[in-house]
């Protein structure tokens, strides 16, 4: 086989009436083959769609023997078609099977035979031949482009912080630890929290799209042990302003999907979500509303899953919960000046689901040391971080947005695993 044998001239979607009479080469896989005696109708699919190919003569036998899903390259002339689904077709002069698919295949990537999610994830590469699954990942990629454009246009620069770290970024819980060159203990970063805060010192506004690692012993449709987050941190901004940025970002991603990715939304089975103004409810408002619903809570209690579900039904769609009790927030969150039991913090919710959290940070090293001790953390193990606060740390705010959860919402999926190529959870470490 020469190199030219694997070159395509067109994608399936490009084969249209304007090409009638022209010779083209299409590369893809066999989706269907209908043998009607002297000829066969093959449906060849590639990443853009499918086309019909008429196979006759010398090519017929090898085409008929090739198992479905085998990779092929087909050369032929484009002609008018009488088929119901195609206005043109390819009359093959060459039908080369490049790699045979070995049957039985673990799943049917055409989606005609449904498989349970675990079976599909075990065969993820093949699952991605299903147009519904492909659509999700096209949307995911389009969303990241909007994230980069939106944050870039507001003066944020994209950074990459280490994922192998020497001490916890978010406190001790849920930390994956391992031995580092048989010398010392290292951990996988739970978030870029400490680095992104330090970076405001020199770079002012930063964002990172990267993995979080959490030894999260949760078996739910929304928890993974490795997931992607969009994080920002900005000097000289307070928490309301970074909330505005988050609100604008989420709105823009949804708008991009609605305006320029209608076909993928439809293929993924998602409804268009339009985001207008996102309400900002205080934690205290939330517990009052919950009390009226019979969900009794004391100030300082965390919102349980059932409380969040109830709130979600009272406020369907996106909403912020702001001004959480300080005791519920991590050590780096700033208190409210006018009421120090409250904090300058927020979570972005979609119904019951938490999508993001953030807030204003402490920038005084003395306050940080005090808060670490109050939360039972050892300030000494944060010395590397704390020293940066003696170098003229600006006041700063930021947030972390669970990108997988946002995609789950915007692509209409019920399980976060659907929007992650190779999910990691308590049970799954392969493929
Ligand atoms: P937090 O711990 O709330 O905040 O995480 C930020 C967001 O990440 C998502 N998330 C998860 N997604 C999938 N699986 C999980 N196990 C999981 N855990 C969390 C959620 C959540 O809102 N440093 C702060 C952010 C900040 O203040 O800037 C942080 O880590 O959508």
Take atom 24 of ligand 1 and give the residue whose Cα is closest: 400
Whole-number pLDDT of residue 294? 93
Separation of CA 345 from chain center: 24
Q: Single out the residue of 342, 318, 119, 167 nearest to residue 239, CA to CA.
A: 342
399 C-alpha to ligand 1 centroid (Å): 9
If you ran DSSP here, which 8-state letter would residue 334 be given? Answer: P
Burial 217-252 (b: 16+ CB within 10 A, else e): eeeeebebbbbbbbbbbbbebebeebbebbbebbbb
In tens, the pLDDT along 345-395 reads 999 999 999 999 999 999 999 999 999 999 999 888 899 999 999 999 999
Nearest in space to 327 (alpha carbons), one of 307, 308, 299: 299
Report how far ligand 1's centroid is from the alpha carbon of 212 (Å).
8
Cβ contacts of residue 83 below 8 Å, gap of 6+? 41, 52, 89
CA 11, 14, 16, 21 dihedral sign is negative
Q: Name the residues annotated as catalytic.
A: 214, 216, 222-223, 354, 357, 405
Kindly give the number of the ligand 1 atom that is closest to the alpha carbon of 229: 8
CB 380 within 8 A of CB 423: no
Q: What's 123's DSSP letter? A: T
With a cut of 70, list the residues of the chain below it in pLDDT: 1-4
CA neighbours closer than 13 Å in the CB half-sphere of residue 286 = 31
Q: Phi first, then psi: give them for residue 34, nearest 5 degrees.
A: -115, 115
User: Is the distance from CB of 408 to CB of 419 less than 8 angstroms?
Assistant: yes
Nearest CA owner, ligand 1 atom 27: 358
pLDDT at 170: 80
Atom of ligand 1 nearest to the CA of 227: 13
Ligand 1 shell residues, CB under 6 Å: 170, 191, 193, 214, 216, 223-224, 227, 229, 231, 354-358, 398-400, 402, 404-405, 416
Question: What's the Cα-to-Cα distance from 309 to each of 274, 290, 305, rounded to whole Å?
Answer: 21, 10, 6
Nearest CA to ligand 1 atom 29: 400
Q: Which of 362, 384, 392, 360 is nearest to 374 (CA)?
A: 362
Q: What is the largest CA-CA distance in the chain?
A: 85
Tens digits of residue pLDDT in 169-223: 787 779 999 999 988 999 999 999 999 999 999 999 999 999 999 998 999 999 9
pLDDT computed for residue 319 by the predictor: 98
**Which residue's CA is the closest to the ligand 1 atom numbered 30?**
191
pLDDT at residue 4, as a whole number: 61
Phi, psi of 149 (to 5 degrees): -65, -45
């Amino acid at each position: 086989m020469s190199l030219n044998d694997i070159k395509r001239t067109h994608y399936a979607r490009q084969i249209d009436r304007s090409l009638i009479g022209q010779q083209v080469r299409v590369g893809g896989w066999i989706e269907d083959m209908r043998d009607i005696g002297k000829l066969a109708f093959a449906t060849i699919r590639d990443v853009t769609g499918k086309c019909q190919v008429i196979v006759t003569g010398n090519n017929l036998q090898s085409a008929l023997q090739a198992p479905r899903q085998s990779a092929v390259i087909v050369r032929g002339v484009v002609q008018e078609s009488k088929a119901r689904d195609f206005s043109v077709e390819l009359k093959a002069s060459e039908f080369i099977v490049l790699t045979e698919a070995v049957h039985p295949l673990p799943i049917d990537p055409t989606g005609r035979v449904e498989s349970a999610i675990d079976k599909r994830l075990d065969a993820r590469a093949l699952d991605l031949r299903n147009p519904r699954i492909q659509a999700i990942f096209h949307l995911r990629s389009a969303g990241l482009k909007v994230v980069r454009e939106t944050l870039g246009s507001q003066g944020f620069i994209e950074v990459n912080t280490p994922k192998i770290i020497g001490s916890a970024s978010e406190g001790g819980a849920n930390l994956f630890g391992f031995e580092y060159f048989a010398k010392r203990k290292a951990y996988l970063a739970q978030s870029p929290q400490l680095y992104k805060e330090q970076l405001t010192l020199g770079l002012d506004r930063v964002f990172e799209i990267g993995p979080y690692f959490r030894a999260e012993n949760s078996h739910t449709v929304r928890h993974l042990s490795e997931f992607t987050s969009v994080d920002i941190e900005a000097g000289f901004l307070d928490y309301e302003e970074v909330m505005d940025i988050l609100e604008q970002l989420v709105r823009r991603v949804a708008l991009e999907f609605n305006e320029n990715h209608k076909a993928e939304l439809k293929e993924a089975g998602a409804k268009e979500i339009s985001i207008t103004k996102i309400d900002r409810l205080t934690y205290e408002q939330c517990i009052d509303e919950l009390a009226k619903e019979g969900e009794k809570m004391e100030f300082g209690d965390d919102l349980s899953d059932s409380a969040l579900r109830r709130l979600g039904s009272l406020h369907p769609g996106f909403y912020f919960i702001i001004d959480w009790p300080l005791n519920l927030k991590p050590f780096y969150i700033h208190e409210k000046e006018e009421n120090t039991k409250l904090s300058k913090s927020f979570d972005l919710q979609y119904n019951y689901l938490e999508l993001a959290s953030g807030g204003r940070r402490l920038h005084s090293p003395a306050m940080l040391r005090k808060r670490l001790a109050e939360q039972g953390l050892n300030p000494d193990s944060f010395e590397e971080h704390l020293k940066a606060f003696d170098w003229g740390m600006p006041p700063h705010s930021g947030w972390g947005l669970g990108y997988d959860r946002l995609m789950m919402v915007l692509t209409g999926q019920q399980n976060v695993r659907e929007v992650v190529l190779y999910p990691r959870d308590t049970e799954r470490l392969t493929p």
